[in-house]
A and B are shown apart, each in its own frame.
Chain A
Amino acid sequence: MQDFAQSFVLAGQLVVSGDPALAEIVALSIQVTLTALVISALIGLPLGALLAVARFPGSATLSVLANALMGLPPVVVGLLVYMMLSNAGPLGVLGLLYTPTAMIIAQAVLITPIIIALTRQVIADLNRSYAETFKSMVVPAHTAIAALIWDARFSLLTVLLAGFGRAIAEVGAVMIVGGNINHVTRVMTTAIALETSKGELALALALGFVLLLMALSVNAAVALLRQTDRSAVHV
């Protein structure tokens, strides 16, 4: 029990003192996840919007696929990306395995379907009210999509935050493709797993605090944005 309480104290000290090892891990986590999020957003927002407004061969299949892939198990994503990037794999020549880039790829694969599926839902809802007016005004498809994305920006921000929350908290995929190498690919989740198994509870707990704090603030931000969005629309 003494040890347990002491771990909390130590963890608090690590967070407050801005321990360099801790800071390095947190910084890498944020960097990897933000990059993955930007990539996923660049693919997912336009594609999700396109699926919401346009019908083309395979669009229904893509929608179903994106919805199904929202529940991709991170370890499976990790395994697939690992197989692609390993020396024997088709992208092995790039030598990306066990680098932050590999982790970015894995996280982007994990959350792109989430961004696509949620964006499609948000934009489809808005398009239901806009479609007839846009048709009447003869709005070109690309202008319509841009307008829908812009007008749904608050809802879409919550979509991006959901993606961020999912990516920053997952451990399976980055563990497999990153390898949890100290100073290179060690992120918060993999460090927590490692430190816990070593019995170094203080660092694990400190990282846990930071992760928890981030998850809470992301969710608080989502709730706040939803409220702003609602009041902006329904006043």
Chain B
Amino acid sequence: MSEVLSFPKRETLPLAIGPSPMPLELRHLAFQADSIAILMGIDLKLDTDALTVLMGPNGAGKSVFLRLLHGLIKPTFGEVLWNGEPACAATRKQQALVFQKPVLLRRSVKANLSFALGLRPFQNRKQRLQSALDSAGLADLADRPAHVLSGGEQQRLALARALILEPKVLFLDEPTANLDPASTLLIEQTIQRVRQQGVKVILVTHDTHQARRLAEDVLFMHRGRLIEHSSAQTFFDRPAMREARAYLDGEILV
């Protein structure tokens, strides 16, 4: 992909790493569905605003992990603590999640954004709406029904809708899966911009190239366990675990 379209190198990075706007702590986190263990024994602290990338093969439990962090599902055991407070509607209000397959309202692009704006007590909505449309490159499509947009445009709209809520934490579940390089680039640029603004980004991706471009902090999951947590440099240069090495080398990991 990088041969076809040259992604800008991280000239501005590494960014200064500061404290997270919403420090996260996981204690003995486990999740079971129908008494099948999906996640087990996860202890973790994320207290910087470094961009965290979560990697691992399919079925490792990444999406479930993200939903647990966001409080969409409740852990079977253990705790998810944001600023020491269990994940709930109040913490969710300060976060946003962009799903792999965006769910958009059956309305226009503009109406999708203004629906989100209406959920929080924001001032000067018109201005916010316009700047969201502009920065997502959707201004020309504002009155189109969201469902006639292309996949890349839909994902940009989903991301714009998430960002218009001004989250402190942004979860992204494989946001560029099935997108072409141009759309991927636009989304990655947006992700880097919000990272610079101090938003804590937690990104799930299968694309190791993307992970290398964006990650400052890496979590690696395998079979429901969090087996590695290290800085991006360490992870990509000298992964500690055999599974992570195999995954990075492109071996098929089951």
Interfacial residues, chain A to chain B (CB-CB below 8 A): 129-130, 132-133, 135-140, 143, 147, 151-152, 232-235
Contact = CB atoms under 8 A, between A and B. Distances in A.
Contact of A151 (B72, B97, B106): B106
B119 A151 contact: no
A147 B115 contact: yes
Contacts of B148: 235
User: How many interface residues does chain B have, given as a range?
Assistant: 20 to 34
A133 B119 CA distance: 13
B152 to A, nearest CB: 16
Contacts of B223: none
Contact of A132 (B99, B116, B145): B99
A132 B119 contact: no
Contacts of B115: 147
Given A136-B72, A137-B116, A143-B119, A151 B107 contact: yes
Contacts of B204: none
Contacts, number: 42
B93 A133 contact: no
A136 B119 contact: no
Contacts of A132: 72, 99, 103
Given A129-B103, A132-B103, A139-B119, 13 more contacts: A130-B103, A130-B105, A132-B72, A132-B99, A136-B70, A136-B92, A137-B116, A137-B119, A140-B119, A143-B119, A232-B147, A235-B145, A235-B148
Contact of A136 (B97, B105, B145, B147): B97
B246 interface: no
A156 to B, nearest CB: 12
B103 A133 contact: yes
A133 B99 contact: yes
Interface of B: 70, 72, 89, 92-93, 96-97, 99, 103, 105-107, 115-116, 118-119, 145, 147-148, 165
Nearest to B91: A138
22 contacts: A130-B105, A132-B99, A132-B103, A133-B103, A135-B92, A136-B70, A136-B97, A137-B116, A137-B119, A138-B92, A138-B93, A138-B119, A139-B119, A143-B118, A143-B119, A151-B105, A151-B106, A232-B106, A233-B147, A235-B145, A235-B147, A235-B148
